Structure 1
Amino acid sequence: MSQQGAALQSYNNELVKCIEELCGKRDDLQKQILSEEEEKQKLQNDIRILTEKLAKLNESLAKKVATRQEYDKTIAETEAAYMKIIESSHSLLNVLQREASVLKDKGVPGFANASTS
């Protein structure tokens, strides 16, 4: 019976040792879980902050793009109007030169040098 008691004691010791190892592994795993949950919270906070920054940046970009489009439109309209002024000035100059030439040909005094000045 003493042999059976010794075997039982050996099994008991082995069982306690296995339970302690399992508890140690569980504790290590719990530490890893807590660490990863903390990292997850940090990343979620970072994502929230970056999402807010992205939204503000998108809003700013949209306003700036709209303003740039207004500039482009104003510049295009101004250039078109300026080209019309240049064309009108050219046409006016041609008419004036033609009229001066006609007056010169008619011998109107004071127009003899009009085309050379």
Structure 2
Amino acid sequence: MTLQRAALQTYNNELVKCIEELCLKRERLDRQIQQEEEEKGRLQHDISVLTEKLSRVNESLARRLAARTSFNRTIAETEAAYMKVTSPLPGQHFQILESSQALLSVLKQETGNLSKATDPQ
């Protein structure tokens, strides 16, 4: 009977030791889970912030691309009009002055409009 008690005591001691080891492993795992959950939260926050920044940059880029298209169109139209003004037919020299003045006025107005479109919002 004492041999059985000794064997039972040995088994009990081993069982308690195994349970304690499992508890320690569970505690380590709980800490790892908590750390990863915290990291996940930080990453989700970072993603949210970056997504918002990306949205703002995309909106700004779209406005600037549209403004550049307007600049290109205005420059092309102004250059074409300028070429007509500087190459008059004989006897149209008086019209050169009027046309140049009108072209300059339109160009200044368009430049002001385009500048407003490209100013930071």
Pairwise TM-score range, normalised by the shorter structure: 0.7 to 0.9
Fraction of identical pairs, as percent: 60
* 1:82 paired to 2:82: yes
1:36 aligns with 2:36: yes
Structure 1 unaligned regions, length at least 5: 97-117
Residue type at the aligned position of 1:68: R
What displacement does 1:85 show? 1.4
| Separation in structure 1 between the aligned mates of residue 57 and residue 90 of structure 2, nearest angstrom | 52
Structure showing greater radius of gyration is: 1
* Shift >6 Å, 4+ stretches: none
Report what 1:61 is aligned to.
61
TM-score, length basis structure 2: 0.73
Q: What displacement does 1:86 show?
A: 1.9
Q: TM-score, normalised by structure 1?
A: 0.75
Deviations 1:56-89 (A, max 9, x none): 010011111111111111010000011111222x
**Partner residue, 2:90:** 92
Deviation at 1:30, TM superposition (A): 0.7
- Compute the RMSD of aligned alpha carbons: 1.7
Counterparts of 2:84 and 2:24 in 1: how far apart (Å)? 88
Which structure has the higher relative contact order (CA within 8 Å, separation 6+)?
2
Whole-angstrom distance in 2 between the partners of 1:92 and 1:42 = 75
Q: Separation in 1 of the partners of 2:86 and 2:90?
A: 10
Amino acid at match of 1:92: P
